Structure 1
Amino acid sequence: MKLKLLFLLSISIIIICIFYIVDLLNQDFVLNKEDEYDSTINIWITSSGLAPSLDQFENEYNVKVNVRQFNDKEALMEELTLSNVTSELPDVIEVNDHDGMDEIVKQYDVYPIERISSDLLTQFHPSIHKSFTYQDKLYAYPLGMEIPLLFVNESLLRNHYTDGETLFPFEKHLGKYKEIQDKINENNNIQPFWLFHFDEQIPFYWEAKVASTIGPTNASFDDMWNDLVNVYQLVPPLDNHMAITRFANLEVGALVSTSVHLQTVQELIGNSFEFDVIPFIPNSYPILVSGHGLVVMNENEMVDELFTFLNKEEIQLQFLGKNGWLPAAKTLMEDTAFVHDLPMSKYISELLQYEHLFIGTEIEEASRESWTDIKNKAIEIEK
């Protein structure tokens, strides 16, 4: 019995030693693998659709790409503040042009994107180029853009307004919209029906409305939002995170969202009803774009290589499709074959017909405070 126990104990020790040796060999392989990279670049992103392209860049250029992904831009900005204290800033970060770009440019030693060749710079659509410009310098490499849209349930609303009319929630037809909503609710015994709903980018839609206004205006966000939510009750309060879901569930007639969510909306709806997609602002008015780009925080020899890699058509097709972005390059907007290969190309090709109306605004002071202020006002009005 003792010999059997000693035998089993010996076998166990041998097995443990083997696993230990294998583990050491694996660790050594990982260390050796790290040594094989020619250089390293640290990148922070919020769009998960960028990760596959960055992995491919790592493999093709033999560069160790340390990607840190954040759930949202607020979390990235908070971490950036902490990293600035410890002087451990990343080399490149993903940014949005309308929310905090001014802070990044002024508070950090950001490098203007002047190292990119002039040929590369001139290909970008003027609207997105302007969106990342501060004091006549471009401070981000434009990746893609989105525009505000109105998703309309045609199956439900087609008979309630004529072709010449629009369903624009900021127009002076709220009384008529209320009549349409009440009429639908008369025959609706399942849940309350709302004519409009907005997702969580309310500040962007208000900026888009202001940017489309021709001539002076006295319109205020407070008055407009109070009319929509409280006076006419056309928008459900404190419910922005559910906007897309409620539209897909036939609880909303017209959804205000962006082109980024085209594929999500289509997947949720399937063939349950027909919907139309039109620019959020009525035709023939300027359409404000929102841009996504990469800002250079540290001098790194691989940044130029990264931007050149991302400029390849096959790579553009990859990350634009995964993120739902419209092309930032005017040349690609006009490339029918390229657009055809993008997901939701049917809608995207139609929306790009409006590209002559696309506008951008230069990086503005206190942009993040402005967005936060509008968000807080909306919540206060909706309570």
Structure 2
Amino acid sequence: MFVKGFTTREKVMFIIILVLALCLILSVSYNIGFLGRKERKKEVKIEKTVKKKEKIIVWTYWQDDSFSALEKAAKVFTDENNVSVVIEQVPLDEFYSKLCDALQRGEGPDIFIYSHDSLAELVSLNVIVPIAVENELDEFPPSVLQALTYENKLYALPILIEVPALAVNTKLVRNIPEDMEEILSGRTVVYGNALTLVYPLDNAFYSSVWFYSLGAYYYDSEIGKSNLDSDAGVKAFQIMLNLSDQVPEKANIDTSLLLFAQSEAAFTIVNPSILKKLKLMMGKDFSSVEIVPFPKVLGNTARPLMYIEAIYVTSLPRDARIEELTMDLAWFLATNGSIIIARDAELVVAWADAYTVDSSRILYGFYNQSLSAVPMPVKASKVFLIVSRYIDRVIGGELKPEDASIQCDNELEKL
């Protein structure tokens, strides 16, 4: 690369000059790049700390007005406690199986509403927790609370009561009798040609008032016994036979309500869930109806069966705050929230104070009856089918009261 004629010294000096020139060019190039570069500002992420809103899930099988009233009550709690309450509707025929499956997988609701007669099984499955009793319980009927107590612990709060009571058409009678014997014997004065008492005799829920008032209980699930094979049982079946002479043959709920609505019967037996149907039938004439507790039955306090819907709190894992809020919601729905439910859905709630705020005299009549009512036994649907069948056989003349009491008792004790 070098031209001939250069000495060795000249060649070395040329290389040194070339290297120095190259270093100078590189140095200048670097400084120009550094000075031309804009300094980047360090990016600082500002995270907004938004408090997460807790969510409580409630399962129910309620529908229509009942479901809407429950949502409305939950909304009041939501607004007051900055918590989201989600009401989920599950069909009744799927409710219990879906509930147990979900809870045993650690899923499902924080709160659910269900019948009282499944309490023992739910405790054994370890899917519900005892209620934190920090409030007064005096405003709930004692027998209702007892039905929700297991091994001396309260496991649910009552919200609704379904109990039969006596409907009276005040246009047809002057005074409500003090003892049902006056109705049964025909001594009650009824205006016009109206019948005295009409209801479906083979309805074991309605007819429980005769049996339980006399001490002839259908079935005690705790001991697996019935008390129909007794003098009380015979008397109760005899009442059924006597009533069959007054009540139209094969009267069902619809025909009984129609006779009552058309002022062709002075008394009938109803429960809260069919009130709306009766109101539609009677229209403005419904104002003449009173719902009252049954008079005494042969001198004994009337004690029909009742069905209780209760609020359960599940054992799903949760932090301390959500656990406290869940328990607070359960208490709210059973107390102040139940005022909304009673008013908007016309349901009989278990909290006595709900009836002091512009309450319905009709609903209060059912509530009064619940104070002496007996909670329904476990296996109630099977029990009712058996008892209804034997009532039918007595009023149909197939069996005498004495025979029915023995045979029905034997069949019930096989459950």
Query: In structure 2, do the counterparts of structure 1 residues 142 and 44 end up closer, same or farther at CA, with 3 Å as the change threshold?
Result: same
Contact kept in structure 2, 1:143 and 1:327, CA below 8 Å: yes
Cα distance in 2 for partners of 1:133, 1:369 equals 23
Aligned pair 1:129/2:152, yes or no? Answer: no
Paired position in structure 2 for 1:149: 165
Which of the numbers 63, 83, 105 marks the counterpart of 2:84? 63
Report the 3-state secondary structure (helix = DSSP H, G, I; strand = E; otherwise coil) of the residue aligned with 1:65: strand
Cα distance in 2 for partners of 1:217, 1:102 equals 31
Report the 3-state secondary structure (helix = DSSP H, G, I; strand = E; otherwise coil) of the residue aligned with 1:294: strand
Cα distance in 1 for partners of 2:131, 2:377 equals 21
Cα distance in 2 for partners of 1:101, 1:242 equals 36
Which of the numbers 160, 163, 184 marks the counterpart of 2:193? 184
Contact kept in structure 2, 1:339 and 1:349, CA below 8 Å: no
Cα distance in 2 for partners of 1:374, 1:312 equals 35
Please list the CA deviations of residues 111-142 of structure 1 after superposition, one character each: whole Å capped at 9, or x if unmatched.
2433242x244543323212322332222111
Report deviation, 1:95. Answer: 2.3
Cα distance in 2 for partners of 1:120, 1:83 equals 32
Aligned pair 1:210/2:211, yes or no? Answer: yes
Paired position in structure 2 for 1:248: 261
Contact kept in structure 2, 1:152 and 1:276, CA below 8 Å: yes
Query: In structure 2, do the counterparts of structure 1 residues 377 and 211 end up closer, same or farther at CA, with 3 Å as the change threshold?
Result: closer
Percent identical across equivalent pairs?
17
Report deviation, 1:82. Answer: 6.2
1:223 counterpart letter in structure 2: F
Report deviation, 1:203. Answer: 3.4
Query: In structure 2, do the counterparts of structure 1 residues 380 and 267 end up closer, same or farther at CA, with 3 Å as the change threshold?
Result: same
Query: In structure 2, do the counterparts of structure 1 residues 242 and 123 end up closer, same or farther at CA, with 3 Å as the change threshold?
Result: same
Which of the numbers 39, 50, 75 marks the counterpart of 2:70? 50
> Which shows bigger deviation, 129-138 or 279-288?
279-288
Which of the numbers 114, 129, 153 marks the counterpart of 1:95? 114
Paired position in structure 2 for 1:359: 372
Cα distance in 2 for partners of 1:87, 1:294 equals 19
Contact kept in structure 2, 1:150 and 1:255, CA below 8 Å: yes
Report deviation, 1:149. Answer: 1.4
Paired position in structure 2 for 1:4: none
Which 5+ residue runs of structure 1 have no aligned equivalent?
Answer: 1-34, 186-192
Q: Hey, which of these two has a bigger chunk of helix by percent?
A: 1
Q: TM-score, normalised by structure 1?
A: 0.63
Paired position in structure 1 for 2:42: none
The number of residues matched between the two structures is 318
Contact kept in structure 2, 1:142 and 1:292, CA below 8 Å: yes
Rg larger for? 2
Structure with more relative contact order (C-alpha pairs < 8 Å, separation 6 or more): 1
Cα distance in 1 for partners of 2:74, 2:54 equals 16
Let me know the Cα RMSD of the aligned residues: 4.5
Contact kept in structure 1, 2:215 and 2:232, CA below 8 Å: no
Report the 3-state secondary structure (helix = DSSP H, G, I; strand = E; otherwise coil) of the residue aligned with 1:223: helix
1:282 counterpart letter in structure 2: K
Report the 3-state secondary structure (helix = DSSP H, G, I; strand = E; otherwise coil) of the residue aligned with 2:312: strand
Report deviation, 1:64. Answer: 4.4
Runs of 4+ in 1 over 6 A off after TM superposition: 84-87, 177-181, 379-383
Contact kept in structure 1, 2:199 and 2:251, CA below 8 Å: no
Paired position in structure 1 for 2:327: 304
Contact kept in structure 2, 1:102 and 1:364, CA below 8 Å: no
Matched ranges for 1:24-39 at <5 A: 37-39=53-55
1:63 counterpart letter in structure 2: S
Query: In structure 2, do the counterparts of structure 1 residues 195 and 286 end up closer, same or farther at CA, with 3 Å as the change threshold?
Result: closer
Query: In structure 2, do the counterparts of structure 1 residues 82 and 242 end up closer, same or farther at CA, with 3 Å as the change threshold?
Result: farther
Report deviation, 1:295. Answer: 1.9
1:197 counterpart letter in structure 2: Y
Please list the CA deviations of residues 301-348 of structure 1 after superposition, one character each: whole Å capped at 9, or x if unmatched.
2421312432563x2310122343445334x17xxxx52412x23x45
Which of the numbers 378, 381, 386 marks the counterpart of 1:373? 386
Paired position in structure 2 for 1:257: 270
Q: TM-score, normalised by structure 2?
A: 0.59
Query: In structure 2, do the counterparts of structure 1 residues 135 and 85 end up closer, same or farther at CA, with 3 Å as the change threshold?
Result: closer
1:113 counterpart letter in structure 2: P
Query: In structure 2, do the counterparts of structure 1 residues 311 and 66 end up closer, same or farther at CA, with 3 Å as the change threshold?
Result: closer
Contact kept in structure 2, 1:100 and 1:368, CA below 8 Å: no
